[in-house]
Amino acid sequence: MDSTHSRHADGIPIIDLAPWVTGSDRAGVASAIGHACREHGFFYVVGHGVDPDACRRLHDASARFFAADAASKMRIRMAKGGRAWRGYFPVGGELTRGRADAKEGLYFGAELGADHPDVVAGKPMHGANLFPDLDGFRSAVLDHIAAMTDLGHRLMEVIGVSLGLAPDYFAQRYTGDPLVLFRIFHYPPLTPGTDDWSVAEHTDYGVLTILLQDDVGGLQVKTRDGWVDAPPIEDSFVCNLGDMLDRMSGGLYRSTPHRVSNTSGGERLSLPFFFDPGWDVEVEPLVPGNSVRDDPASRWDGRSPDVFEGTYGEYLLSKVGKVFPDLKEAPRVEE
């Protein structure tokens, strides 16, 4: 690995994306990210070009929302989002491994009007967002979704090159019109002395997650040597690979388990952005016949992502219905 663009935080690589953005050393950045994808499935990016002030505005707006009373937050509850699957859920409203998470959150996606073809067609997870009546909140969220979508395209260029593919390989075949999902999670402090996790061990479903975390900490990553912290690093994003890229690469690029434990005694905000294949895309191996897969029995859920066949949308619906079982059957929109 070319270490010029990489250092480490508790064993997780920190990669400077600037030489890719400027074009001064794209090979070095691709080499560093390729090594991180093979060995860790997690890495930080700095030098990404995203405005840090915009991130801070989003963080502050999010904190204001979660500080509101329950009735105010429930005005944009997920049941009002219908098939778009947008809005607020209270603490305990999301499940991991069948257990309620110790967090509350907001779900967003690409902002689509009622006349958009995908909305007219009734595709789940497509539609308009639900926003609280807070000054600057809507613009902060939509600006962040736009910035993360751009960053997602850039990172998939690097990942493509790291695999020996053309920079536009993923855009041409999978992510030209990506499914983008954005979450804002609020983690209350856990009660000292309990064994509960804010979020239990899991892997993400899709291709790439780009996380903006606050300065509280609590994210942990499972490495070959055990669990390590992924501490906050100023003006960075934590990136991790999901099960679908693991599947596409035949296990060469790893979907790594992670979990959250907010034992800080304070409030924690986490803002993950999911950059995934288009809804109707048939997901196929990048190199047919290539496989360095782990034994499914070694996975946290005992299941291999390779057994699925079909479109990414079908795959995602099969997963999300386990997280929000009440929404699996395309709920009626509340008035």
Q: What is the predicted pLDDT for the residue at 225?
A: 86
User: 184-222, pLDDT tens digit by residue?
Assistant: 999 999 877 665 789 889 999 999 999 999 999 999 999
Answer whether residue 333 is part of any domain: no
Higher-confidence residue: 31 or 333?
31
- Give the total number of structural domains in the chain: 1
pLDDT higher than 80, residue 333 = no
Residue with tokens 């778009």: 84
Residue with tokens 């003006």: 235
Tokens of 209: 């997650």
Answer whether residue 32 is part of any domain: no
Q: Is the dihedral of CA 145, 146, 151, 153 positive or negative?
A: positive
Higher-confidence residue: 303 or 313?
313
Rg of the chain (C-alpha set):
19
Answer whether residue 42 is part of any domain: no
User: 163-181, pLDDT tens digit by residue?
Assistant: 999 999 999 999 999 999 9
Q: What is the predicted pLDDT for the residue at 291?
A: 53
Answer whether residue 27 is part of any domain: no
Q: How far is CA 210 from CA 10, 270, 276, in A?
A: 19, 11, 11
Answer whether residue 45 is part of any domain: no
Answer whether residue 241 is part of any domain: yes
Q: Roughly how many angstroms between the first and final C-alpha of the chain, as a whole number? A: 55
In the chain, pLDDT over 90 holds for what percent of residues? 70
Q: How far is CA 105 from CA 4, 7, 159, 268, in A?
A: 38, 32, 30, 12
Residue with tokens 């270490």: 3
Answer whether residue 10 is part of any domain: no
pLDDT higher than 80, residue 269 = yes
| pTM for the predicted model, two decimal places | 0.90
Q: Which residues fall within 8 angstroms of residue 78, CB to CB, at 6 or more apart?
A: 85, 86, 87, 88, 89, 93, 107, 324, 327
Answer whether residue 288 is part of any domain: yes
CATH code, 185 = 2.60.120.330
| Residue 59 domain boundaries | 50-327
Instruction: Please state the three-class secondary structure of the chain as a single string.
Output: CCHHHEEEECCEEEEECHHHHHCCCHHHHHHHHHHHHHHCCEEEEECCCCCHHHHHHHHHHHHHHHCCCHHHHHCCEHHHCHHHCCEEECCCCCEECCEECCCEEEEEECECCCCCHHHHCCCCCCECCCCCCCCCHHHHHHHHHHHHHHHHHHHHHHHHHHCCCCCCHHHHHHHCCCEEEEEEEEECCCCCCCCCCCEEEECCCCCEEEEEECCCCCEEEEECCEEEECCCCCCCEEEEECHHHHHHCCCCCCCCCEEECCCCCCCEEEEEEEEECCCCCECCCCCCCCCCCCCHHHCCCCCCHHHCCCEHHHHHHHHHHHHCHHHCCCCCCCC
Residue with tokens 């803002």: 271
Q: Are 14 and 236 in contact (CB under 8 A)?
A: yes
Phi and psi at residue 209, to the nearest 5°: -110, 135
Q: What is the predicted pLDDT for the residue at 332?
A: 46
